[in-house]
Each structure stands twice: as C-alpha cells, then as structure tokens.
Structure 1
Amino acid sequence: MPPRLRPTRIEYVVDGIKLRSQLTAAALSAIGDEAEQRRRALEILKAALFRGRMIAKERLENGAGGIETARLLSGVTDEVVTALYDFTTVHVFRARNPTEGERLAVMAVGGYGRGTLAPFSDLDLLFLRPYKQTAHAESVIEFMLYALWDLGFKVGHASRTVEECVKLSKEDFTIRTSILEARRLTGDEQLASELKKRFRDEVIKGTGAEFVTAKLKERDERQARAGASRYLVEPNIKEGKGGLRDLNTLFWIAQYLHPLDSPDQALSLDMFDRREVRAFIRAFDFLWAVRSHLHFVTGRPEERLSFDLQPEIARRMGYFDRPRKDGDNTPAVERFMRRYFLIAREVGVLTRQFCAKLEADQAKKKPQGLSRFLGARRGSRKPLDVKGFAEDGGRLTVDGPETFERDPVNLIRLFVVADRRNMDLHPDAFTLVTRSLPLITSKLRRDPEAAKAFLDVLARGKRTLATLTLMNETGVLGRFIPEFGHIVAQMQFNMYHSYTVDEHTLRAVGLIADIARGDLSVDHPLSVQTYPLIEDREALFLAMLLHDTGKGGVGGQEKAGARAARQACERLGLERERIELVAWLVEHHLVMSDFAQKRDVADPHTVTAFARIVENPERLRLLLVLTVADIRAVGPGVWNGWKGQLLRELFGSTEAIFRGGRGGDPAATFARHLHAEAGQARAALVAADPAAADWAAVMEDAYFTGFEAADHLAHAALARRAHEAGGAAAKAQIRSDRNAAEITVIAPDRRGLFADLASVIAGFGANVVGARAFTIQGAEALDVFYVQDVAGQAYGCEAPRTLERLVEALEAAGRGETHTGEPKRPRDLGRAAAFTIIPTVTVDNDASEDASVIEVSGRDRPGLLGALAHTLTDAGLSILSAHIDNYGERAVDAFYVCGEDGQKLTDPRRVAGLKAVLTEVLDQESGEAQAGRPRLSRARASVAR
C-alpha cells in the first residue's frame, strides 16, 4: 500500500490492553451494582475517546495529513468500540457456553468501514447474527448502542443475519455499498468471513455494469442537490462536485469490479499509474484535512466550507496574511480556497481518467457490459476528416500523443471539432490533452492558425460554454491564454460572487452566446435586439473572457485588466484598433452598471457624462451586452427586473444623445429632448383627465419623463383622494415587470418624510429596491417605492393582506403618526461576520450640475437606509435623489443633496463633519437606534425633490 495510506499506529494514543484492564477493574470493583459498573465503564471509555481525539486534533494542527488524522480517529474509535464489546460480553451479558444462535460479529460499514473517520462523523455499525434475533444478542446490542449514544456518537446501525444482508444488498444499492466496505471490528470471525464470501459470490459477481450505472447516476443526483458546479465559493467538502464523495465513488467502483480485502489495495491495481495514485492521495489528504478541521472548529459534523469558516480553516492549514517572497499579496483565505478549487478540478480529471481505465479494462472482458453504459463500443472507432482525430463510441478522440506532438495546433483544433460536431471528449483524449500541455508554448500562442481556431470556439461556437469549460478543465484555456490562467480557481472573498472568477467568466461568455442566439429574448429583450447591430462581435467575446483578468493586479482591476487584454490580443494577432477596443471594454466594463445604479439617469449631466465616456453607439451596444452578462453571471438572484429597467433607461437616454449628433452642447440637447417629452405627456394627461389640470401644472418635467401615462392618471386620482381625506393617501399594486410591489404615497411634505416612510417599510420586513419622490410646490410630496420580500419576490404577492397593512402604516406615517415597527432584535451577522468592511464616505461636487453627490459604503444591515437618510436630514440637507445598491455584505449608497439654500455642499468644515457622522452611522453594529430596511435588500432608490 502507498506509504501515505498506512494506518497510524494507535497504540501510542489508546492502549487497548490497558483500556480493557481498566474496564475489568471497574467491573470487579462494583460487582452487584450494574448501574455503577456501567457508569465507571463509560467514564473510562469517554476519557480514552477524548484523549484520542485531542491527540488527533493536536497532530492535525501541527501539520499532520488529513488521511493520517482520519485513520487515527478511526483507530481510536475501533479501540473504544471493541473494548465496549468485550466489557459487555464478559462483565454484563456473558454467555459462558454460547450457543450457535448467540454468535455475534460487530462490523464497521460505510465510511467507518473504510477505516477513515472525521471527528464528528456518524458511526455506522452492522451487528451480524447467524440466525434470528436471540435475547442474548438483543441485550448485547441494546447495551452497546445506549453506551455509544452516551459517549456522544451518532450511531447508524443495523442488526441482520448473513442471509438478510445478501438479500437486502441485492435490492438496495445503498446497503450494497455499505457492505462492500464492511470491516470486522470484533466478535465472531467466521460470521464476518461468511458474509464477505457470500457477498462476493452472490451479489457482486456478474453485476459490475449494474453497480457502476447506479453509482454514477447517484453521483449526478447528489451533485445536482449540492450544486452542479465544483466552483461554488462555499463548497460542500463531502457531497459537492469535486469533493470526497466523488473520490469515494471511484473507489467503490474499483472495489466492486476488483473485489479486494482492503480499499487501499485499489491503488495497487494495474488500472492506476503512479501519477494517478499520487493525485488520488494528494486529493484525499487535502480534503480530509479540511473536513477534519471543519469538524473540530465547529464542534459538529459540518461539511460546508462557508465564508465565516474559511479564514479560520485557512489559518489552520498554514495560510497566513503576510508579505511573501514571490510578491503575491493575495489574502491568505483566497490562496487557500484557490488550492481547494484546484484540488476539486483535479478530482474531475481523475474521474475522467478512471472512467477511461474502466472502459479499456471492461472492453477486454465484456464488450457489452460496463462499456455499454459508459459509451465505448468495441469496433465503433472511426477516423474523421481531420488527420489524427477519430470518433470512438460517440465521443471525440485522437490517434495518440503523436497527434499533438506532430502539430500542437491540434490541441486547439480538438475543441473546434468537438464544438462543431457536438461531441464530448473521450476520456483517453482528455488524459492525452492534460499530459500534452507542455506543448502549448509562446510559439503556439502566436500561431495564426491556433488563434483562428480559438476565436472560432469563443465567438462562433455552437456550444460556447460547454466547450470553453472543457478547455478549462483540461488546462488548455489557461495555458493558451495565460492571462486567463491567472484567474483559474481564483475566488473573491465576499458574499456577492457565487463562483470562482474563471467560472463566473465562462458563464458570462456563455450568456453572451445565448443572447446571440436569441435564447434570452424574454429576460433581456433590449440586449437581444441590440446584438445584431454590433459590428465587432469577436471583440465583445474577447472582452468578456478577459474582463476580470486584472483582479489583484497593479493599479487596480480595470487598469491591470486592460494591460492583460492588450497582451492577450496582441498574441492572437488582432489589429491595433481592435486591440484598443477590447482593452477599452475591459477597463470600462463596470462603468455602465455604476452609472445606472449609483447615479440619477434622469439628470442630463449624468447621461452626458456617461456619453462622453462611451463616445459612440458601437461602444454603447457592446457595453450593454457586456454589462448584462457580467451581472447575471455573478450568481443566482443577483439579476432582477429593476436592474434591467435601470440599464434600459440609461441606454435609451444615451442613445438619444448620439442620435442628436455631435453639434452643440449634448447636455442642453438632452434637456430639450426631455422637456419636449414632458410637454407631450402633460398635455396627454389633461386630455385624458381634465380634472388633473392643476396637478399637471404643478408637476415638474422630471416627473412626466419618469413615469408612464397610466401612472400619471393614477397619481392624479390619488392626489385628489389625499385632498379629500385632508392628509395622506397611499395605494399599492404588484408590478411583475419590475418584480416588485409598487407603493405610492402622497402626503404633506416635511423634513425627514422619505426617511420615515423607508423606516416603516423596513419595519414590515420589506426590501426597498427602488423609490422616487417629488415635491409639489413645497407643500406635498409624491413618493413611489418598489419593494420586495426577503426571497426577492414582489412584496405581498402571496400575502395581499400584508401589503394592505403596509399601505395603511405608510398612510399613518404620512400623517405624521409614529410607527413603532417590529420589535427590535439583536443583530446576527452570521456568515457576514467573516468580512472586514471599512466604511468610506466621499463627497463629489462634479458629478452633478445642481447637487453634491455623497457616496457611502459600509457593511449592509437592517436600518441602514433610514439611518443615513435621517442623518442627512438632521444635517439640514435636502435629498434630491438617492441610489442604493449592495454587493453581498457591502452596501454602496449615493445621495444627491443640496443645502437649505439650494447650493452644493462646499464648506470644507461642514463636509468633514458630515463625513464623520456618516462614518459613525456606517460603523454601528446594529440598527436599533434607527428603523430602516433589512440587509441584502438594496437595489436602488431614485429620489428627485
């Protein structure tokens, strides 16, 4: 057996002979008192178990491997279980002359049967009997189980005869798998041997293909439940794709097809070469170390490597934040997680290689057995029209390593053929590719044929995401485009991104391909309509592929990414103009989302500033599609209809400027355009509802351009109701187009009204995803809020009465009545506690012509919006507009404000004082002082007063 898999010597941790002597002494000293005997025995066993676990923990923290730790914990448990059995059968229920029916064997099954155990894993035991249950066996089993439970074990157990084991394992693959790894701990050796022999002869024999089919199907279903991607940033170390269960599945299959006395012997089979054995051991050792640390840190069987645990596990695994000689200042937690994802990818490679070995081995013996399921059909190999390539069982393969050695461009052509023919790679070809990566040198990277083949896959592929993922899994993508290789398996330690950087990037590229095919016309109609107008689509795909390559680079992500893009595009042989276009897109890939979500797109100054950056309609179209794909690929739930609406508004306004030509002042041109639109809308309202003439006369242009004609009519009617009621009025409707409930409030204007209304909404557990507010000649205010529930659905869509109560509370707040909100609860940061969030406050007097823009960033929390709004109001500032967004645990809010005199905030002392107060608000660890909104609730509020 490989040296690293040799069992740890347990006698130095738990002395079995001494342990049994102590138990015997305890039994003899309390003869006649069974309760006292049991109590003393449990104390002795508990002490031995505690000592063993603490030694394993100490060794692990001092650098012991994961396999060594799992073996040690299993060995300690073996000693405790077998000593308990001896105590039970000798001192409690001794059968001096045991009959045939009183024979009993205790066997470890499942993971425990493999001889590896995590600190808080379940203990899977099989009590094996020759015949039906006897009173003696029942008493022994019951005593042992209660004792193990009292020792703190969670025991999974079964009591069966050999016949029952054979029968049930034929019917149930879970039972079959657990018995496959059965290991005798103590008791009747003949019974254990009989089970092993009958299991091999009556269950395993001739059922290899059936077992493989079941286990691979089970693996697929498990991965779908745990998360289909192995690059989820909070992975399940046991059940997730690329985790321990995937490796165990391979061992189960190997053991089943080649029955062995020990699981470790599987690594000695001819089907594994030295490289694969080293990879198996390396992956097992790392994953077991991480799992053991997880259990020890949490004190429970925790299998999910969540954000709040990652920094501590990284530290325990030897990753520290300190200057490194190689100049890599990546945070320790991100370096640790990159190691994890590289291991997870290696597990995927091992799976493919293992399947290739199985196919080859099975084809020699039974061509229509296992090979039928795995896809290999003897005699089905046929050459293709590309020299050196062939189809084997419906998958793409190559003649041999000489195919790549003769012409390294074939390493790229392989994926072009796979994409065009809609074929997966044969495991043999996959293995050959991974072993031929050294052929991808600077010469190949600059080869025009290789560049053309790569761009064919990237920009014109039929299965773009699937093919690029395959290139990434083999290592070809990162090797051919080194700038992409820099972000492979890299993660960003925040709650905003759900995937590693490379996985996010490939998903974004795949989304552009979906948009190009028109598949997302319902979700992204503007992008689908815009895409055919884009002239340089290769530039778009290249920019998306390279947009995050600057993460961690010198000068910031955008500048470093632009440099990386230029390098990559120059090697690919692009013309200078196209290189600069790709670099510009990479450098500005966040600009459109920033303007849409953090600035007031109804402000001509904002739109013209964005237009000056973009410069022409082609860049605008490219940036729209790039931005949509980038946001949506961040993770589930990040994209919503509100963000889509913001982008559409910004796109339309900017496009209007470009249609107006380059002559004159763009801001003035856009302002005239808005004024003309407002005049038409005002006239249409009066024509449809003559009673609304007064309302139309007092409302500003921004109101008419910000809402639809139906909204104008509804608001005018609501204003009349408010006047009749002598105070405030509110109404609500579900807006499916914005995935939110729209709540409109008309009330007497007063200082802090918007903040009070936002506080009421938060008190009902609703999330503000958008809001607009207008003053009516300084006497009344029109506030429109868009709210969702905590699940991201329109608030009240499934509970209309809840929405009605919120409307009633907002009317009361509009009349000036105090709203107490929900009972105050202590704040629980949970996973967010793992992140250090440094509050920042900036004041920008150049972003708007009429207002100062105050941008704040800090930890998102309940009550933050209300607290910030009240703080600005208390400082004597009027909020002209506010834009709210969040990036996981971090909130980023921008407020357009002016002083009581209607001027910008320019006094340095006043600016400094306001910054200090806002920073204090951001630093607060709870929202108890101010009511507000729940965390993770922000999308954007646009307030124009």
Structure 2
Amino acid sequence: MTLSPDLAEAPDVRVAVAGALRAQYDAGRARAFRKLEGGAGGVEVARLLSQAADEMIGTLWAFTTEVLYPAPNPTEAERLAVLAVGGYGRGVLAPFSDLDLLFLRPWKTTARTESVVEFMLYVLWDLGLKVGSAVRSVDESLSIARQDMTVRTALLEARWLVGDQALAEGFLTKFRTEVGRADPRAFIAAKLEERDARHQKAGAVRYKVEPNVKDGKGGLRDLNTLFWIARALAPESPLGERVMDDLLTSRERRSFEFAFDFLWRVRAHLHLSAGRAVETLSFDLQPEVARRMGWRGRGDEPAVERFMRRYFQVARDVGALTRAMSAKLEARHQKTALSLSRLLPRKSRKLGVEGFIEDAGRLSVTGPEVFADDPVRLIELFVAADAHDLDLHPDAYAAVIRALPTVSPSLRRDPRAAAAFLHVLAHGENPYRALTLMNETGLLGRFLPEWGRIVGQTQFNMYHAYTVDEHTLQAIRVIADIAAGRLRDDHPLATEIVHRIADREALFLAMLLHDVGKGGERGQLEDGAIAARRACERLGVEGRRIEQVVWLVRHHLALSDYAQKRDVSDPATVRAFAELVGDPERLRLLLVLTVADIRAVGPGVWNSWKGRLMRDLYGQVEALFRGEALEHADPLAEHPGLLEAAQAEGAAVEVRAPEARVKGPADADESLHVTEVAVAARDRPGLFADLAEALAASGADVAGARVATTDDGWALDVFQIQDGTGAPYGQAEARRLPGLAAALRTAALGRSQVRALEIQPVSRRRAAFEVRPVVMIDTATSPRATVVEVSGADRPGLLADLARTLTEQEVSIRSAHIAAFGERAVDSFYVTDAEGRKLTSEAALDRLQTALEAVLEEGPPLPSGPPLIRARASARDVSELKRRRRRRPGVSSAAEAG
C-alpha cells in the first residue's frame, strides 16, 4: 500500500497519515485475529501480526522519505535504515506488544535524519502504539552491544525492515562476526542470571495459579532465553537453528515447538481478552481465554481448570527443555566458572551406588542402561540425590524421562522401590526438593497413579495460590521445616509435638495423599480415603498404618472446621471433636497435618489467630484425654469490671489491641493478629446486628465473635477484628481505635444512625467467581443452641446483614465464628429463640434458611466494562460441603484446605 502524496497538503499531516495507516494496520491485524479465532497456531498469528506491522512501517517510511523529506541522491551521512529488534526482530508480535526499532545511521546525525525519525515516531505514537526506539550510528551500536547484554540480546534478533538495506546488512554482518569471535560464556551466564532474577520477581514457583505467561517460570521468556543462547553460539544461523538442532533431540525440538506455539496462542488470547498488554493469566481472564481456545468442561472439572492443567503441563515441559539444553552447554564448557562455580571445573566421583556418579556437582548416571537393568534405580536415584544433597544433573533428568515407560505395575509393587520411596518421603533430608524433582520428571505420577491425576490440577478460586500437586509438596516442606525447628517461632506447639508422633511415615503419607480425592464423584474426602488406601496397599504399607493414613485423609479438614467454625469454649464441641479423633496420637498427627495444610495454601493464609484457635482446641482435647474435667469458659470473667461500668453508664466498651513488641517463642502471644473489643450493654433484640454494622462502617473485618448474657438481662459481646489487610485493627492507625470505641458505645445504646454502606462494584478479578450460596442448619452439634452455617460470596457488611436477618427472624445469637476462604465467606452462628431455647421447629428453620439465602444472593454489583465470563469455581466445594452435611445433625463445613 502507498499513501497519496496529497496527504502532505492536509492541515495536519500527522493526523491524516495516522488515519490512513490505521485503516491499513487494523485490516492486517483483523486478518490475524480471524485466523486466531479459527484455531490457527499461536506462532502463525504472531507472525501475521508482525507482518501487519512491517507493512504499516514500510508504508510510513515510503511516505516520509519520498514525499515529506525526499532525498533522491542522499549523501553518505544521510543514509538511514530501520531495523526491527527484540521479539519484533524475531518476527513475532502479540496483539499489544511493543514495537522495538533501531534507526541506524552511518555516523553523526543530519537534519534530514532527525526529521524522518521524528515524524515516524510521532505518527506511531499517534496510532497508540508503544514504541521502544533507539537512534544510533553503526559504531555506537557495536560499542554498546559489547558492554550491555540487554542491547546485545536485542540485536541478536535484529532484521532489516526498511531504508538502506546495505547499511543494515553491513552492520549486522559486523555485529554477528564480533559475537561469533567473542567468548559466549559471559553472555550465557548473564542470560541465566537474568532468568533467575525474572523468576524471583514473577514468582519462583512454576505452579502459581495466576501465572505470568511471558516472564514466569515456564513461560515464553524461558524459551526465548534458549533462543538467545543459540543465537549467541551461532549468530550467523537463522534463529540459531544449527545450535538448536545440536543441543536438543528431535523429541525435545517437537516439545519446544509445541510449547512455543501454545504459549504464544495463550498470550494472544490473553491480550485480546484484556484489551491491552497484560501478561498475567489472572482469574478474571482465565475463563475467557479458556473459552477462546475451545476448552469445554468435562464431568465436574470446569473448562477453565482443564485449560489451566494443560498450561501447567506445558510449563513443566519448558523446565525440562531448559535442563536438557543446560546439560549440553555444560558438556561443552560454555558456562562461566564465575556464575556457575559449583559446576566447573567438571569433576566426577563415584557415590558407592552402582550406576550413579557425581558429575560437576550434580547427581548423574553412567548411562541410560542403568534404569533398563534395574528400574528400581529410578526411585533410588532420588534417594541418592537427597542423601548427598545434590541437584539432578540434566543428563540424569533426561534419562529418567526416557525411562518412564519402564514404570510398570510390578515396579509400583516392588518392596525395594516402596522402601526407597518411603525413605525419601518420610526420612529424607529435603523431601520437598526430591519429590519436586520426581514430579517434574513425571516419575512421581507414574509411580503413584493417584498422584498423577492431580498433577497440574488447579482449583479455580482465590484461596489457593498453587496447583494441587505443588500445594501438597509445599505442605510436605512445611512439615519437614517444623520437624527441623525452622518454624519454632510461628508454630511452637507443632514444633514440640511433632517429635512425639510415633508414626512419622503415616504423617508424611497422609500429607502426600490428602488431596488426591479432589474432584472425585464421591467427594474429596471419601474419594481421597479410597485412593489413599489403594496407594498404601500397593506400596506394601502395614495394615495398622494404612488405617491411620486413611483416617487422616478422610478427616484432614476436621481440626480447622471445629476450631474456626465451632464454639470451642463449649464442652460439647470439645467432646464431639475428641470422640471423632479418638486418641492422643491422632490428635498430634492432625494438628501438624492441619498447620502444614493451611500454611501451604499460599502466602499470608496462615496467621496466629488461626493458630490460637487450634491451640485452644488442641489443649482442651488433650486435657480431656488425660481425664481432666472440662469447664465452659466464662467471657464475663475475662473482662472484669466491664459489666459494672455498663450498668452504671448504660454501655461500656473495652479495646485490647496487641502490643507492638513481639514476645519470645516461649511466651508467644498468638492473639497478635486480632484486636479484641468487648461491649457490655443491656440485652435487646438487634444488639449484635447494631454492633456488627458499626464495625463494618468503621472498616473492621470480624474474625470471631462471642456473646454472653446474664440472668438479669445484660449482654457482653466480644469481637476479634482485623483491618482489610489481615492485620489487627488499628495497628497501622492507632487513632482509629477511640473512634471505633465511641461508635460501638453509641450502637450499644441503640442511638446509632449508621449510614448504609456504599457497596462498590467488586473487582473484575473477584467477580470472575460465581459463588453459590449455601445455608446449613445443624441441630445436633450443641445441646443448648442450633448451629447455622452460611456460606457465600464475601463482601463488606455481610456479617451485619446476616445478623440483622437473624434478628428479624426473632433469633438470638450466642456466638459467631467467622472465616474467609478467598472469595467465599463461611460464617457460623450458635442461635436460640428469644427464650434461650434451641430452634427445633422445621417450619421456623425453613423460613430462617430462606431468609439467609436471600441475603447471600444479594451480593455487590458486578464491575463495568467488557463482558465478564464468570466461572462457577466453587461448585465442587459446595457439592463437597453438602455431601458432608446431608443431615441436619452433624458437623460442617466448607473446606479450608489444600
């Protein structure tokens, strides 16, 4: 396409040119997008987008240099070429990628050169494009590339676009000659260090449930790094093909090409779904990208979870490719001793295990026949890696992958293989690293089929930060850290009792298998127990230990359920939990398992408030097992003088904020994550609701609440509160505490006029989840109250709305227990009628359930903007919850777990 010379006469030339180019550019991009929607490959679409940019820039160049600033016979100094560099130089673009350009001149700039560059850049900016540009001479470009590895990387992929082709090709020849003569080790080391820093910034764990497609571990940049290294080793070879063919097998090349195409396709759909350049596959975008890419749900697994499972499988393959290429580079001594000092100089030594050697500081094998001769060595390899504190050499890594077909049913039942596996799991020095390596090679899923079904499995909710398999491995790491004393300050009780556990293998087996039932037709817990029994029997585990593991898997949520959603000050609750647990050994196992499970859900999920609740329940059940009597806790005794002050003044408020100074581990204050406020006032209908509304209006999140009433009609309501970040309320701004106390006192006296909360639309990220509301009523757990558990989308003021509804239904609240699991809130209330009796009328209970469900259905408005696909992320959680509470008698709940 050419632009009409008449555009030069337009009142605003730039606007006119930009308008004409926009039509051309949009048409080219539209062709690419139609291809994408038709199922074309990601690389094909990326090349079409790059081609559209090439054509647009070519048209702009022709108009600028032939119409606006013509030079039929340019002087030597006026020569100018435009090169595409970086990813654009490689000929691939995402829908909203930057255009990286180098305007190359022979030496000093001229007036015409400045005019051409300036006009072109302004027009590109007028088009709304993000342009990364540099204007340099040949010598400047060569000089900077020698010193700056980022510039060298960009130029490795440079190609001529328009302008003086001889100037461009002459420069590229000089540059590639210099690169070919240079020692490549410094460049390779710099790229690998850059990759590590990028991983650390984007998230060092490959299996984060909101991955960065471009910069995350297992993303496009990792594949680009391999490209760059290949180009540095063979700068004259197009796209480094010669080196890639040398460093990767044909199978690895196919894997590389599939991963590259898949990730480019994901990135293109991601940009179009967001309408801008975003690289993080966030929750709000995952369902739309899955839909665009043609994924459909299967059984209980939604389309978005199936798509994300495939994504993480590809990310794992990218990791394997990186290791494979590293192996070849190490063999060729291409890495510097400076950046990889533990790898060079290459040394090897025997380890006393036939077939295994230490090679340049990593564990390797003498040859592929090692596993063919004895497949048990596949497992023993990881035992040796753990025992000698060695990472796996890429050669050994590749050998394991090639040997996976030898993992047969007979190997899975081989006593030697089982003993080796259980040793590294329960007695290894670093079981997380050993099992992670087994998982990434694919061996763990082959050897343990129950594990294989959760590899890469995601749970589409805001609560879990990792895939199911990565969460489980993180939990195993937490147990190992607790046992080693590394988490003593955070978990003093768990650190003490872990060494009193008699059966360490049962603990680690239960942790490994606790989530293998996720997504099962019978529910996570029942299917998990069945799968755990099958796995343990295949491993030849002794019968008594199997029963212990199966029980732990079936009940691994019980401690968190009771502690967070039941009144643990009630002796009936403690007795019920003690009856479920049965003996002190299971109590110890369950505590350590629960701590590790919650902590491994993701950063910030565990806090000392949860620790306090679990510690209190543990202590009471342990006392019961010792034969000590249980007493109902008296909240009035915990706040001496407050009731008397209220009787004198009508209402009184006491605020207990945690001290700024943290105590030592011996007397660790596990209430540090909440501020406690106690309100004493004359009891009346709606008192709790009024107080909850005052708290919500003050920006306080309620973590827990208890209510006590005297025989003469005075009430004490105690709330544990936090701010929106999960810190104790008022810790960041102490000046908020007096105002909160005053608001609560006014509310207690019935004088408050709390303005209705202005409910803002939820964020698009949170709005992606359609949380199904559930209300369950339990008349059996407590002898004195009915337990009402409500579960639905969390929002500001939800507790106040629920409390108001309970008041309207003429229900009195004895205690409230608040929990949040990402986008879902789970609130439990112990309630009675106005006379303090349990609710038993089926008609009244049905009315109550209907009214509470209506509150949960309200929810905040959805965000404005482009249409949002909402995935029913919690459908499986809800079915699990209902499955565990089919009858009104019994215990909860919605799962906090991994």
Shorter-chain TM-score category?
A: over 0.9
Deviation for aligned residue 1:98: 0.9
Aligned to 1:561: 528
Per-residue CA shift, 1:567-625, capped at 9, x if unaligned? 11011111211111111110111111111111111112111111111111111111111
Aligned to 1:646: 613
| Whole-angstrom CA distance in 1 between matches of 2:861 and 2:754 | 14
Aligned pair in 2 of structure 1 residues 604, 730: CA closer, same or farther (>3 Å)? Answer: closer
| Whole-angstrom CA distance in 2 between matches of 1:778 and 1:227 | 58
CA contact (8 A) 2:461 2:769 kept: yes
Deviation for aligned residue 1:296: 1.0
Deviation for aligned residue 1:35: 3.6
Aligned to 1:294: 270
Per-residue CA shift, 1:523-550, capped at 9, x if unaligned? 1111111111111110110000000001
CA contact (8 A) 1:162 1:194 kept: no
The yes-or-no answer on 1:132 pairing with 2:66 is no
**Correspondent of 1:352 among 295, 298, 323:** 323
CA contact (8 A) 1:208 1:370 kept: no
Deviation for aligned residue 1:63: 0.5
| Whole-angstrom CA distance in 2 between matches of 1:308 and 1:245 | 23
Letter in 2 for 1:737: E
Q: What is the DSSP-based 3-state SS (H/G/I as helix, E as strand, rest coil) of the residue aligned with 2:813?
A: strand
The yes-or-no answer on 1:116 pairing with 2:81 is no
Aligned pair in 2 of structure 1 residues 767, 579: CA closer, same or farther (>3 Å)? Answer: same
Deviation for aligned residue 1:214: 0.9
CA contact (8 A) 1:255 1:266 kept: no
| Whole-angstrom CA distance in 2 between matches of 1:542 and 1:785 | 39
Letter in 1 for 2:857: D
| Whole-angstrom CA distance in 1 between matches of 2:370 and 2:137 | 57
Deviation for aligned residue 1:814: 2.2
Q: What is the DSSP-based 3-state SS (H/G/I as helix, E as strand, rest coil) of the residue aligned with 1:578?
A: helix
Aligned to 1:97: 73
Per-residue CA shift, 1:366-399, capped at 9, x if unaligned? 7x85798375446612222101111111111000
**Correspondent of 1:252 among 228, 231, 238:** 228
> Higher mean Cα deviation, 425-434 or 727-736?
727-736
| Whole-angstrom CA distance in 1 between matches of 2:7 and 2:207 | 58
Higher gyration radius (CA): 1
Query: Could you list the runs of 4 or more consecutive aligned residues of structure 1 that deviate by over 6 angstroms after TM superposition?
Result: none
| Whole-angstrom CA distance in 1 between matches of 2:535 and 2:770 | 34
Letter in 1 for 2:631: L
Letter in 2 for 1:230: R
> Higher mean Cα deviation, 65-74 or 528-537?
528-537
| Whole-angstrom CA distance in 2 between matches of 1:783 and 1:63 | 60
Structure 1 segment 439-518 matched on structure 2, within 5 A: 439-518=406-485
| Whole-angstrom CA distance in 2 between matches of 1:199 and 1:218 | 22
Per-residue CA shift, 1:446-501, capped at 9, x if unaligned? 11111111111000010111111111111111111110111000011111100000
Normalized against structure 1, the TM-score is what? 0.88
Deviation for aligned residue 1:187: 0.8
Letter in 2 for 1:809: A
| Whole-angstrom CA distance in 2 between matches of 1:823 and 1:609 | 39
| Whole-angstrom CA distance in 2 between matches of 1:133 and 1:927 | 57
Per-residue CA shift, 1:42-86, capped at 9, x if unaligned? 222111111111121111111101000100000110010111111
| Whole-angstrom CA distance in 2 between matches of 1:785 and 1:850 | 21
Deviation for aligned residue 1:196: 1.6
Aligned to 2:539: 572
The yes-or-no answer on 1:436 pairing with 2:403 is yes
| Whole-angstrom CA distance in 1 between matches of 2:62 and 2:567 | 77
Q: What is the DSSP-based 3-state SS (H/G/I as helix, E as strand, rest coil) of the residue aligned with 1:269?
A: helix
Aligned to 1:11: none
Aligned pair in 2 of structure 1 residues 337, 152: CA closer, same or farther (>3 Å)? Answer: same
| Whole-angstrom CA distance in 2 between matches of 1:527 and 1:39 | 69
| Whole-angstrom CA distance in 1 between matches of 2:552 and 2:227 | 47
CA contact (8 A) 1:734 1:740 kept: yes
Aligned to 1:309: 285
Q: What is the DSSP-based 3-state SS (H/G/I as helix, E as strand, rest coil) of the residue aligned with 1:573?
A: coil
Aligned to 2:652: 728
Deviation for aligned residue 1:721: 4.2
Q: What is the DSSP-based 3-state SS (H/G/I as helix, E as strand, rest coil) of the residue aligned with 1:656?
A: helix
Q: What is the DSSP-based 3-state SS (H/G/I as helix, E as strand, rest coil) of the residue aligned with 2:386?
A: helix
**Correspondent of 1:824 among 745, 752, 758:** 758
Aligned to 2:665: none
| Whole-angstrom CA distance in 2 between matches of 1:282 and 1:374 | 33
Aligned to 1:320: 296
Deviation for aligned residue 1:267: 6.6
Per-residue CA shift, 1:140-162, capped at 9, x if unaligned? 00100111111121111111111
> Higher mean Cα deviation, 584-593 or 905-914?
905-914
Q: What is the DSSP-based 3-state SS (H/G/I as helix, E as strand, rest coil) of the residue aligned with 1:373?
A: coil
Letter in 1 for 2:254: R
**Correspondent of 1:278 among 254, 258, 281:** 254
Deviation for aligned residue 1:726: 4.7
The yes-or-no answer on 1:614 pairing with 2:581 is yes
**Correspondent of 2:634 among 702, 710, 718:** 702
Deviation for aligned residue 1:167: 1.6
Aligned to 1:941: none
Q: What is the DSSP-based 3-state SS (H/G/I as helix, E as strand, rest coil) of the residue aligned with 2:657?
A: strand
Aligned to 1:87: 63
Structure 1 segment 64-463 matched on structure 2, within 5 A: 64-203=40-179, 205-263=181-239, 265=241, 269-321=245-297, 328-360=299-331, 362-363=332-333, 369=336, 373=340, 375-377=342-344, 380-463=347-430
Aligned to 1:685: none
Deviation for aligned residue 1:650: 1.1
Deviation for aligned residue 1:720: 4.4
Structure 1 segment 578-617 matched on structure 2, within 5 A: 578-617=545-584
| Whole-angstrom CA distance in 2 between matches of 1:880 and 1:804 | 26
Structure 1 segment 748-787 matched on structure 2, within 5 A: 748-787=682-721
- How many residues are aligned here? 852
| Whole-angstrom CA distance in 1 between matches of 2:702 and 2:757 | 19
Letter in 1 for 2:381: L
CA contact (8 A) 1:459 1:537 kept: yes
Structure 1 segment 804-843 matched on structure 2, within 5 A: 804-820=738-754, 824-843=758-777
| Whole-angstrom CA distance in 1 between matches of 2:692 and 2:12 | 65
Aligned to 2:631: 674
Letter in 2 for 1:290: V
**Correspondent of 1:626 among 550, 574, 593:** 593
Deviation for aligned residue 1:792: 1.6
The yes-or-no answer on 1:525 pairing with 2:457 is no
Unaligned runs of 5+ in 2: 660-668, 863-898
Deviation for aligned residue 1:903: 2.1
| Whole-angstrom CA distance in 2 between matches of 1:794 and 1:880 | 24
| Whole-angstrom CA distance in 2 between matches of 1:49 and 1:804 | 61
**Correspondent of 1:905 among 839, 863, 872:** 839
| Whole-angstrom CA distance in 2 between matches of 1:613 and 1:30 | 83
The structure with higher relative contact order (CA 8 Å, sep 6+) is 2
Per-residue CA shift, 1:261-285, capped at 9, x if unaligned? 5326357532222111101110011
Letter in 2 for 1:468: L
CA contact (8 A) 1:111 1:117 kept: yes
Deviation for aligned residue 1:730: 3.4
Aligned pair in 2 of structure 1 residues 190, 513: CA closer, same or farther (>3 Å)? Answer: same
Unaligned runs of 5+ in 1: 1-18, 661-668, 676-700, 929-945
Aligned pair in 2 of structure 1 residues 726, 581: CA closer, same or farther (>3 Å)? Answer: closer
Aligned pair in 2 of structure 1 residues 38, 881: CA closer, same or farther (>3 Å)? Answer: closer
Aligned to 1:885: 819
| Whole-angstrom CA distance in 2 between matches of 1:307 and 1:50 | 29
**Correspondent of 2:33 among 46, 50, 57:** 57
CA contact (8 A) 2:573 2:782 kept: yes
CA contact (8 A) 2:494 2:592 kept: yes
Aligned pair in 2 of structure 1 residues 827, 724: CA closer, same or farther (>3 Å)? Answer: same
Q: What is the DSSP-based 3-state SS (H/G/I as helix, E as strand, rest coil) of the residue aligned with 1:674?
A: coil
